[in-house]
Structure 1
Amino acid sequence: MKLQALIATIALAITSAAHAAGDKHDHAHEHKPLHGGVVVEVKDMDFELVANATAVKLYLRDHGKPADVSKASAKVTLLAGTEKQEVELKPAGDRLEATGSFKVGPGTKAVAVVTIAGKPATARFTLR
Structure 2
Amino acid sequence: MKLLTLIASIALAAAGTVHAAGEKHDHAHEHKPMHGGVVVEVKDMDYELVAKPTAIQLYLRDNGKSADVSKASAKVTLLTGAEKQEVDLKPAGDKLEATGSFKVGPGTKAVAVVTVGGKPATARFTLK
Normalising by the smaller structure, the TM-score range is 0.7 to 0.9
**CA distance in 2 between partners of 1:43 and 1:91 (Å):** 21
**Following TM superposition, by how much is the alpha carbon of 1:51 offset from its aligned partner in structure 2, in angstroms?**
0.3
Residue 46 of structure 1 deviates from its aligned partner by: 0.1
> In the alignment, which residue of structure 1 is the partner of 2:112?
112
Correspondence for 1:37? 37
The answer for the alignment partner of 2:125 in structure 1 is 125
- How many Å separate the matches in 1 of 2:89 and 2:80? 18
Q: Distance in 2 between matches of 1:26 and 1:73?
A: 29
Q: In the TM superposition, what whole-angstrom CA distance separates every residue of 1:71-115 from its partner, at most 9, and x where no partner exists? A: 000000000000000000000000000000000000000000000
- CA RMSD, 1 decimal: 0.9
Q: Aligned residues, how many?
A: 104
| Greater C-alpha Rg | 1
Q: Counterparts in 2 of 1:1-128, with a 5 A limit?
A: 27-128=27-128
Q: Distance in 2 between matches of 1:63 and 1:121?
A: 16
Q: TM-score scaled by structure 2?
A: 0.80
Aligned-partner Cα distance in 1 for 2:83–2:63: 34
Separation (CA, whole Å) in 2 of partners of 1:106 and 1:58: 17
Runs of at least 4 residues off by over 3 Å: none
Question: What percent of counterpart residues are identical?
Answer: 86
Deviation of the 1:27 alpha carbon: 1.5
Distance in 1, matches of 2:123 and 2:29, equals: 19
Question: What is the CA–CA distance in structure 1 between the aligned matches of 2:74 and 2:29, rounded to whole Å?
Answer: 24
The secondary structure found in structure 2 opposite 1:35 is coil
Aligned AA (1:29)? H
